[in-house]
Structure 1
Amino acid sequence: MMRRLHSLRRLSGNALLLALCAGLPAAHAAEQAARGANSGAKAAPVAQNKDASAPKGEQFVDGIAAIVDKDVITLRELREASQRIASELKARGIQVPDDQTLQHQVLQRLIMERVQRHEADRLGIRVDDAQIDTAVQAIASRNKITVAQLRQELEKAGTSWEAYRKSLRDEIRTDRLRQRAVDSTIVISDAEVDAFLKDQRRNPAFGAAPQAQPQPQPQPAPEQAAVPAGPMLYALAQILVRVPEGSSPEQLALLRKKAEGLLAQAKRGDDFASLAAASSDGPEALQGGVMGVRPLDGWPDLFVKAISNLQKGQVSQLIQSGNGFHIIKVMDRGTAQPAPGRTARAPAPPQPAPQPAARPQAPQGPTQVVQTRARHILIKTSTVMSDDLARQRLQQVRQRLVNGDAKFEEMARQYSQDATAPQGGELGWLNPGETVPPFEAAMNALQPGEISQPVQTPFGWHLIQVEERRDHDATDDLARMRARQTLFERRAQPAFEDWLEQLRAQAYVDNRLEKQQQIQQNNR
């Protein structure tokens, strides 16, 4: 049977909060930052940088670089963002593109930021100061430092506290937008899970790439020998030459030629990060193309086939996908702490590394867990359904349920906006970790038959009813959940990027700066 991943299920395995870390975790932080790369300029000191001067047409245009729907991106905003990005690129040792190229890349980012913000507003997605405070506290705790120490380290690295909080707000908003718009649409069938597990059984080392000819290694110390090696992790960067929908054969040929030229430059040793910053159409372009760190089987199939035999520093052949032409570089690979190359974040002090977002190793032997069978009613927020209104509506529904005037499944069918509504809100048996933390915490506090107060999650507001609990050997369930998670991760980010492109295509965008630059070029 086909199994839809409920938007509630926490199967993406994402680490929403941006961690301060070094080595391999730094690349993972770059991956999270790249997810929101179109969410506005990243935190970096505002430098008075002559490399990002004001656009030449500034004095004659009415101060507008672009119009997105009814919103305006000013030339001043573009100039300041370009200065920040130029400063950040220099700090990473990445060559800053020429003024016109940098302005083009930054303006595209600002346009996409506006498009995402407008859609988030339309869907009622808000990130308030209290949520930012919670995120900051979680980041500090994760890195075993205080909030004050976190602030000090950021300021030492040249990142203002206000800019850091803004970047967190953008990141959380983008992640919630992805969860709301895309995650619930991705379907992983049981047959796909079966096939994935079959491949794993046939090749137990899947996730560990073929190695180069082994060299003699010193024997590990006894305490080291007891630690099993994790999966092979890959830090990747990309250059994307996007092919717009409906491109003619002639346009496709021109874009292929451009991609082949960039590939030739990368193959001959030109700096990959500088090429990406100047020429990539990918969302992570201004981070030097860095996409982050994952196990081999966590990357899209097209990438896996292209990189599985590559060593550190090597570049793939041209890869064609539905989005365009990709060039992938293996920045590093290994089972522990590979350096990912340049990242999107300011340098951070050494500290205990949080676990990467890779799946944990398959459990050895039986895994006993307490499962919960639950159902829920979800009301999503929007411009016409505020948080207060959604909470009040659920309070009214709850009162009817507590008074015995209605049945939970009837109310779910009538009011719930989740895919489970036709089934009376039934979620089935849930293992620990299968739902987002606020939902799981509220569910775990309930006794069988009890109904929660309204609970807020990134998806909206819920009423939860626990039906029963049981002890269960979840070894097979967890293996299937991890397989489903891996398959989900492969699809979620590409699907989100496709969705964003469609969103941008539907938006009204008047790029006045590039029109003016084109006029000036034609008049030469």
Structure 2
Amino acid sequence: MKKTFTAFTLMSSILVGMFTTTQAEEVPLDKVAAIVNSGVVLESEVQDLLKNIKSNAQKNDQSLPSDRALRTQVIDKLINDSLIVQLGERMGVQISDAQLDSTITNMAKENNLTLEQFRDALVSDGLDYEKYRENVRTELISGEVRRANVRRRIYISPQEVANLLTEMKEQTSEDVEYNLGHILIEFPAEPTQDDMNAAKTRAEKVIELLNNGSDFAKIAIASSGDANALEGGELGWRNINELPTLFSEIIDGKEKGTILGPIRTGLGFSIVKILDIRGREVVEVEEVKARHILIKPSIILSEAKAEATLQGFLDQINAGEADFAELAKEHSEGPTSVRGGDLGWADPNSYDPAFRDALATLKEGEYHKPFRSSFGWHLTQLTERRMLDATKQMNENRAYQLLFNRKFGMESARWIKETRDEAYIEIFEQDIK
């Protein structure tokens, strides 16, 4: 009853707004495409995402399914985004403007562009930069919420790690990476045997279409219930050990272009296509040893004050008036303060991108001027670098991460499905021209 009343109140307020608009000043009002708990998905959001997908497909010469099928996938994504953002609000997850700017700046650097050039490129592609910026904020919030909720659902035992280490040693194709396409024919909530039989029939029909030459990406966008549907079902390059066990067992030794399935999982029936195969280069691993002083801005401490405080510390250190470790013990926030800010040896790629990039510019013993990461403001010194062969500990860490990656995708899908099942969702049909 409460959910129905919320929806009724929301729709009533929209109708009141419509009737209070005078005939002399008719203004097109945004329509509600879906109600999601206490929030809405607007038709303008649907149209913006549809426009972006179609634009990208045109640039990449990629065919798309019918407008109705594409719209269904887009609304599903926006509903999921709305649910996750609402959950993030309840959890208190926030992305500050400084964090957002840092992320977009790094995105520009990855494309070998300045921030201004990156913004101009987006505008020239017909995108509204402010909307794009807020979409990035939403994606960052969604990522934080998803990781926080899914991570606690995953348990990896020491025996699982030991077993995978044994498999990895025996794996003859360890240096091979696969780019897989995945289509999930989903079960409904609490499926009956008839529901499961119907899903299997649909999956077999999809395989028949694919074997007869139908475009995999087009069918994935139209039919898949997986999170990668709008990317044409593409999972990206992964070593065989990084793939879900069900997939790795059936693709090992198979040729490019092979279509496999249907594979029964707890979520439905999966169809897998080996899009490409490549060898993987083996490289040495660089580790860095660094220390830092972290200050987190707050309502009391502004961004500018945090930066200025750290700059003052750097000036004192350079003048020989203060010791880094003592300053860290007294002022740094976080668990490393008791160690004088010492972070120990680590793979730089395990750090926040801003922190990783700062370390990359330093020689041993050098300090970096204060900079902002997603955690706060840092004053950092690189103390040592070393090149390392894989050690037992590193192999164990890698095995753990591979197991985590295997489980994360499946648990993430289960989590969002459970979240949707518990939510009030109402989708409004729109005329599709």
Query: Normalising by structure 2, what TM-score?
Result: 0.68
Q: Deviations over 1:357-401 (max 9, x none)?
A: xxx8475xxx89677999xxxx9xxxxxx964999xxx9xxxxxx
Q: Deviations over 1:287-346 (max 9, x none)?
A: 22222222222111111123223322332221111111111122222137xxxxxxxxxx
Q: What residue in structure 1 maps to residue 403 of structure 2?
A: 487
CA contact (8 A) 1:193 1:480 kept: yes
Q: What residue in structure 1 maps to residue 165 of structure 2?
A: 197
| Aligned match for 1:506, one of 396, 402, 422 | 422
Q: Which has the higher helix share?
A: 2
How far residue 154 of structure 1 moved from its aligned partner, in angstroms, is 4.1
Q: Deviations over 1:469-505 (max 9, x none)?
A: 9x99884222222222222221222222221111122
Distance in 2 between residues matched to 1:292 and 1:185, nearest whole Å: 24
One-letter amino acid of the structure 2 residue matched with residue 73 of structure 1: V
How far residue 126 of structure 1 moved from its aligned partner, in angstroms, is 1.7
Distance in 1 between residues matched to 2:283 and 2:164, nearest whole Å: 14
Change over 3 Å in CA distance of 1:441–1:63 after alignment to 2: closer
Distance in 1 between residues matched to 2:144 and 2:59, nearest whole Å: 30
SS in structure 2 at match of 1:317:
strand
Q: Deviations over 1:87-136 (max 9, x none)?
A: 44344434333343233222212211111110111112222332222112
CA contact (8 A) 2:102 2:372 kept: no
- Percent identity (aligned): 26
Distance in 2 between residues matched to 1:370 and 1:94, nearest whole Å: 42
Q: Does 1:142 align with 2:58?
A: no
Q: What residue in structure 2 maps to residue 129 of structure 1?
A: 97
Q: Deviations over 1:37-88 (max 9, x none)?
A: xxxxxxxxxxxxxxxxxxxxxxxx9943221111122344434443443444
Change over 3 Å in CA distance of 1:244–1:431 after alignment to 2: same
CA contact (8 A) 1:182 1:492 kept: yes
How far residue 252 of structure 1 moved from its aligned partner, in angstroms, is 0.7
CA contact (8 A) 2:108 2:115 kept: yes
| Aligned match for 2:83, one of 111, 115, 118 | 115
CA contact (8 A) 1:369 1:474 kept: no
| Aligned match for 2:156, one of 175, 185, 188 | 188
Q: What residue in structure 1 maps to residue 234 of structure 2?
A: 290
What 5-or-longer segments of structure 1 have no aligned partner?
1-60, 208-230, 337-359, 380-385, 396-407, 409-415, 419-426, 444-454, 464-468, 518-524
CA contact (8 A) 1:94 1:288 kept: no
Structure 1 residues 74-473: aligned runs within 5 Å: 74-155=42-123, 157-203=125-171, 205-207=172-174, 231-335=175-279, 361=282, 388=299, 431-433=346-348, 436=352
Distance in 2 between residues matched to 1:462 and 1:183, nearest whole Å: 26
SS in structure 1 at match of 2:429:
helix
One-letter amino acid of the structure 2 residue matched with residue 139 of structure 1: M
Change over 3 Å in CA distance of 1:287–1:311 after alignment to 2: same
Distance in 2 between residues matched to 1:164 and 1:332, nearest whole Å: 32
Distance in 1 between residues matched to 2:197 and 2:301, nearest whole Å: 51
What 5-or-longer segments of structure 2 have no aligned partner?
1-28, 307-328, 336-341, 360-370, 379-383
CA contact (8 A) 1:125 1:176 kept: yes
Q: Deviations over 1:128-157 (max 9, x none)?
A: 332222112223333443233334444555
Change over 3 Å in CA distance of 1:368–1:138 after alignment to 2: closer
Q: Deviations over 1:254-291 (max 9, x none)?
A: 11111111111011111111111211112222222222
One-letter amino acid of the structure 1 residue matched with residue 404 of structure 2: F
One-letter amino acid of the structure 2 residue matched with residue 503 of structure 1: T
Distance in 1 between residues matched to 2:163 and 2:301, nearest whole Å: 41
Query: Normalising by structure 1, what TM-score?
Result: 0.58
Distance in 1 between residues matched to 2:70 and 2:102, nearest whole Å: 35
Change over 3 Å in CA distance of 1:250–1:70 after alignment to 2: same
Distance in 1 between residues matched to 2:301 and 2:192, nearest whole Å: 47
Change over 3 Å in CA distance of 1:74–1:155 after alignment to 2: closer
Distance in 2 between residues matched to 1:274 and 1:501, nearest whole Å: 23
Change over 3 Å in CA distance of 1:255–1:485 after alignment to 2: same
CA contact (8 A) 2:289 2:343 kept: no
Aligned pairs, how many? 372
Q: More displaced, 501-510 or 301-310?
A: 301-310
How far residue 440 of structure 1 moved from its aligned partner, in angstroms, is 8.9
Distance in 1 between residues matched to 2:126 and 2:358, nearest whole Å: 40
CA contact (8 A) 2:57 2:64 kept: yes
Distance in 2 between residues matched to 1:290 and 1:137, nearest whole Å: 27
CA contact (8 A) 2:287 2:345 kept: no
One-letter amino acid of the structure 1 residue matched with residue 238 of structure 2: R
Structure 1 vs Structure 2 CA RMSD? 4.8
Q: Which has the higher strand share?
A: 2
